[in-house]
Structure 1
Amino acid sequence: HIDQHQVPTQAIPESETLQVLQEEIFPEIAHEEGPYIDFNFEQLLPEMVSHQGPALAVGDVNGDGYDDVYLGGGKKQSGQLVLSNPNGTYTVRTEPFVAAQNAEEVVALFVDTDRDGDLDLYVGTGGKAFSKFDSALKDLFYLNDGRGNFKPFAFAIEEAPLLNTGVVISFDADADNDPDLWIAGRYDTETYGLPSSGYLLINDGLGKFSLSSSEAFKDMGMVRSAVVADLNADSWPDIIASGDWMNVEIYLNRAGEFERATDLFGMENTRGMWGALYLADLNGDGIKDLIAGNVGTNSLYQTGMGMWVADFDQNGRQDQLFSYQINGEDYPIHDKDELSQQLPYLKKNRLLYADYSTATLEKLLGQSALESSTNYRLNLI
């Protein structure tokens, strides 16, 4: 045992400490978020979930040896392709991406889908400013001519469902030596808290995709990150995925068919607010280890916190309620005025503020309402 107060220390000169340098690389390029305000429609959300920031993809699209950048556009803003020049300058292109500016671009991926030696572009769209039937939620696909000139190829992903996209990854799912695409939803477009689905697009080798019939990813959750690794050493790539109010989910690839295997890998009690997954060999044994980024304890999210989603006031819209668990009981995190504004029928209870301060969710809403809701509980933060 070592007492920290007994360890000799020495001050480091200020000039040798880490200096934070900031430089604007693209000063005239900025992502513009739309005016949509989540709280106007879902008043009890603890934070805005629709402003996800720009899609970003990096790769050499014209074969000149320099990395180029695709920056996705917000609603009513064109995506922008930033081409690096050998002299340190750059050229910005908005064609043909401006035609899709009604969409909100939330993820992007460069991948050579047609195996012609250049990087094509997949752009996932999303956001909450659309109905779940809006064509602006249809993901976008662009073919590269090898010189960094892109053209839309909507036919490539014709079968893809409308989705509030959360993540897209590329890997050879069926061992036919071409890149397939796996896409998963960030959250239900109209209601945060309802699970979204994932789906697999199978490449025909020429850049045209067909929708896999797999049901393994149906209603899988609110996905923010995913990686691929061969977890059971059978030479087939498996999927690890996670996100908000989710376990770290495992899907094993059984010769091109996927099955959920989260429990098999001991991940059934890892429900958290996961924002990132990375693979790295941390101990030098030649096997990739998993790094999972959670929200952490310096936030309003706590172990035992619950989310309950249902149409509690029977007005045709789903409500989200959040609770902290104290001594095995769930108490709303919302104050009395907030909750009564979202659920006006509670005003009939004529609860005093003092009474509300000790009221459990079960007392306020009833046991049957809670049991019939879509609900989650965080057990790892």
Structure 2
Amino acid sequence: MRLTLMLLLAVVTVAAQPVGDRVDALEAKVPPRNGDWKTEVLQATAKPQLAALGAVLRDGAWDDLKSLAHPDARSTALRDAGAPRRFGTVTVVQTAAPRGPAHVSLAAALLHLRGPLVARFERRVGFKIVGVHQADAASFQTDVRYEAFASSDNGSGVQQVARWRILWRHHDGRDPTILDIRLERFEEVTRPHRLLTECTASVLDFEDARLSTLATGGETWHGRVDGLGELNLMGHNGIAVGDVDGDGDEDLYVAMGTGLPNLLLVRQPDGALIDRAEDLGVAWLDDTKGVLFADMDNDGDQDLLMAVGNAIVLAKNRGNGAFERIVTMRAPTPAAFYSLAVADYDKDGDLDVYGCRYVKLQYGISIPIPFHDANNGPTNHLMRNDGEDRYTDVTGKIGLNANNTRFSLACVWIDHDTDGDPDLYVANDFGRNNLYKNEGGRFVDVAAIAGVEDQAAGMGASVGDFDLDGKPDLYVTNMFSAAGNRVAYQDRFKRGEDAQKKQIQRYSLGNTLFRNIGGRFEDVSEKAGVRMGRWGWGARFCDIDNDGYDDIIAPNGFLTGHVKDDL
């Protein structure tokens, strides 16, 4: 993991390095003061000042503003009370440019911005510097993403997200001060009550020894289980939802890491969930990643597919929730499967399964080369369902071996050209994605032609029809990096290497929403306001408020560290 992160830093923050560079040598270049990037040094001086400004907005400590801003500091209006739009109980105000007076005092602008936060007890304010430009010897500018959230005991809340351009006065030997703030975009969302309520404790009994593994994070088990399987630390384990016992209620299958039994949480009449994995035959101890329920034998009940090492394991449902007759579909090389997706690609009446694989050896050891367009990963595989529990690996036979050595994390079936057969989209980390067009049971990669290569850190893909035009749209999860946005768009970065520069710039932007325009796609991420997904994983279309429109739920984050700035 550390090496992978350092490779990213090497790509976006330092000049090209000799192949033999050591990690510790690269690590020494990470602090801006150790390099020759003047703009990075400047943003590093602005960062603590922004943190202090956030504290002013959070706590109302206006006296502290004196040390942050020039005495004559001014600002455009930072909060726009424009025409509200309502989505159910949620109210949204958006603007692309400030209205009202061209400039007011900075204190007045901040006071007005803070207004909706004051009446609520829980307040969070943060900034990300996504651009930096040196104006002259005495001043510089930063492009900043502002985020604030506040909530009350009754569940009401307000969220503000904005883009600012801040002009700073540079001072030798002391902190910079704010000269001017200009609002470029603003959004404010208010709610009268919570959209979701956390109810884990009401449905899971953590006193039950079988559920105790859910009460702690991956760090608890890292180093406590043997090294025969993959490390538990990364959390690359999935969840499947389905009705395993035919009672009409949805149950959960929770995949776990090496040495920890997988869980089958069966819903009870009172709404509680109890683990029945052991007595129903699926309490596997092997590291399990992608899992899903699907009726693989057309008998009307939900069978269970699991990615276990380099095998796709099928546990067949007897009809009462108990599983038997294990079928194993194994890849020809040791690389582990990560994600699974099923569809009847050949239209013979039964479901086939496609499996993604990520690294040849082990996470953190298999190194993507080149980092932003790697093509040295393991192969993915399509297992054709031939009936009678027989599955055949037909990957090469049907054309899915083209562009098939990426670092794949997710896949989804999508009839992108609405011709009646399922096409296949594969999201790849460290490079271009694939869109395999189904041509009568054979596939051709048309991602470039269709405009969905989305060369970035692919972490997920979801299909929906967000504009209700009858054509399937695509939302791809990637990674957002403030540092990547800040560095890769500067003139001196990769000067003279325009093609590679453009590729690396795309890498740090974030998630992508593709609107289907008839077999081809257009990127509408910025227009729709859904680019920012942080370190994203498996975002999904979901009509969360039952209004008939697809919303997007975008999980994000990674390992929770012991200190605030740790990953």
Question: TM-score scaled to structure 1, two decimals?
Answer: 0.67
2:494 aligned residue (323, 328, 337)? 328
Whole-Å separation in 2 of the counterparts to 1:302 and 1:226: 31
* Secondary structure at the counterpart of residue 246 of structure 1: coil
Residue by residue over 1:25-53, the C-alpha shift from the partner in whole angstroms, topping out at 9 and shown as x without a partner, is 4235235745369xxxxxxxxxx996134
Query: Alignment partner for residue 258 of structure 2, among 59, 68, 75?
Result: 75
Structure 1 counterpart SS, 2:449: helix
- SS of equivalent to 1:91: strand
Contact 1:251 1:261 in 2 (8 A): yes
Give the one of 419, 423, 428 matched to 1:243: 428
**Paired residues of 2:409 and 2:427 also in contact (CA < 8 A):** yes
1:146 match: 319
Question: Could you tell me which residue of structure 2 aligns to residue 166 of structure 1?
Answer: 338
Summarize deviations over 1:256-285 as a string: whole Å, max 9, x none. 1112112221234x2111222111212221
Q: Does structure 1 residue 287 correspond to structure 2 residue 453?
A: no
1:1-381 paired onto structure 2 within 5 Å: 2-4=97-99, 11=116, 14=120, 15=152, 16-17=156-157, 19=194, 21-22=197-198, 23-24=200-201, 25-26=203-204, 27=206, 28=208, 29=211, 30-31=213-214, 33=218, 35=222, 51-95=234-278, 96-98=281-283, 100-101=284-285, 103-126=286-309, 137-154=310-327, 157=329, 162-190=334-362, 191-193=366-368, 194-212=376-394, 213-217=397-401, 219-268=404-453, 270-298=454-482, 326-328=492-494, 377=504, 379-381=506-508
Distance 1:264 1:87, change over 3 A: same
Evaluate the alpha carbon distance shift between residue 50 and residue 248 of structure 1 in structure 2; reply closer, same or farther with a 3 A threshold.
farther
**Structure 1 letter corresponding to 2:494:** G
Letter paired with 2:418: A
Report the identity percentage. Answer: 20
Distance 1:210-1:141 versus aligned 2 partners, 3 A rule: same
Residues 80 and 211 (structure 1), Cα distance of their counterparts in 2 relative to 1, 3 Å cut: same
Q: Residues 286, 303 of structure 1: CA spacing in aligned structure 2 closer, same or farther, 3 A cutoff?
A: farther
CA distance in 2, matches of 1:328, 1:176: 51
Q: Which amino acid aligns with 2:382?
A: L
Q: Which moved more, 1:13-22 or 1:201-210?
A: 13-22
Deviation at 1:125, TM superposition (A): 2.3
Question: Could you give the per-residue CA deviations for residues 76-105 of structure 1, whole angstroms, max 9, x where no partner exists?
Answer: 11111111111223331233234x41x210
Q: Deviations over 1:275-317 (max 9, x none)?
A: 2211121222111211112211346688869xxxxxxxxxxxx
Q: Distance in 2 between matches of 1:235 and 1:302?
A: 44
CA distance in 1, matches of 2:411, 2:262: 24
Code of the residue aligned with 1:112 in structure 2: it is D
Q: Distance in 1 between matches of 2:505 and 2:458?
A: 11
Find the residue that maps to 1:81 and give its secondary structure.
strand
What are the superposed Cα offsets for residues 330-369 of structure 1, whole Å, 9 maximum, x if unpaired?
9xxxxxxxxxxxxxxxxxxxxxxxxxxxxxxxxxxxxxxx
How many aligned residue pairs are there? 295
Conserved? CA contact 2:222–2:233, under 8 Å: no
**Could you tell me whether the CA contact under 8 Å between 1:167 and 1:186 is conserved in 2?**
no
Q: Deviations over 1:216-245 (max 9, x none)?
A: 246331112222112223322111111311
2:405 alignment partner, SS class: coil
Measured in 2, the distance between the counterparts of 1:207 and 1:294 equals 36
Distance 1:5 1:166 in 2: 53
Amino acid corresponding to residue 222 of structure 2 in structure 1:
P
d(CA) in 2 for partners of 1:182, 1:140? 12
- Deviation of the 1:207 alpha carbon: 3.8
Q: Residues 158 and 254 of structure 1: is their aligned pair in 2 closer, same or farther, counting only changes over 3 Å?
A: same
Q: Is the 8 A contact 2:479 2:507 kept in 1?
A: no
Q: Would you say the 8 A contact 2:327–2:389 is kept in 1?
A: no
Structure 2 residue identity aligned to 1:210: T
Structure 1 segments unaligned to the other structure (5+ residues): 38-47, 127-136, 306-323, 331-375
**Relative contact order, CA 8 A, sep 6+: which one is greater?**
1
Secondary structure at 2:430's aligned position in 1? strand
Matched residue of 1:187: which SS?
coil
User: Does structure 1 conserve the Cα–Cα contact (< 8 Å) formed by 2:311 and 2:330?
Assistant: no
Return the alpha-carbon distance in structure 2 between the equivalents of residues 300 and 262 of structure 1. 25
User: Structure 1 303/200 Cα, relative in aligned 2: closer, same or farther at 3 Å?
Assistant: farther
CA contact (8 A) 1:138 1:160 kept: no
Partner deviation per Cα, 1:100-152 (whole Å, 9 max, x = no partner): 41x210110101000000000011024xxxxxxxxxx3332201001000124
Q: Secondary structure at the match of 1:282?
A: coil
Q: How far apart in 2 are the matches of 1:303 and 1:205?
A: 54
Equivalent position amino acid for 1:379 in 2: R
Give the AA of the match of 1:167: S
Which blocks of at least 5 consecutive residues in structure 2 are unaligned? 1-95, 102-108, 121-151, 158-192, 225-230, 369-375, 497-502, 509-567
TM-score, normalization by structure 2: 0.47
Contact 1:201 1:210 in 2 (8 A): yes
Deviation at 1:215, TM superposition (A): 4.9
Amino acid of the structure 2 residue aligned with 1:153 = I
Rg larger in 1 or in 2? 2
* C-alpha distance in structure 2 between counterparts of 1:74 and 1:325, whole Å: 45
Give the letter aligned to residue 458 of structure 2: W
In the superposition, relative to structure 1, how do residues 199 and 303 fare at CA in structure 2: closer, same or farther (>3 Å)? farther
Task: Name the aligned partner's letter for residue 147 of structure 1.
Answer: N
Counterpart AA for 1:198: N
**Cα distance change on mapping 1:55 and 1:77 into 2, 3 Å:** same
Residue 118 and residue 277 in structure 1: after superposition, are their counterparts in 2 closer, same or farther (change >3 A)? same
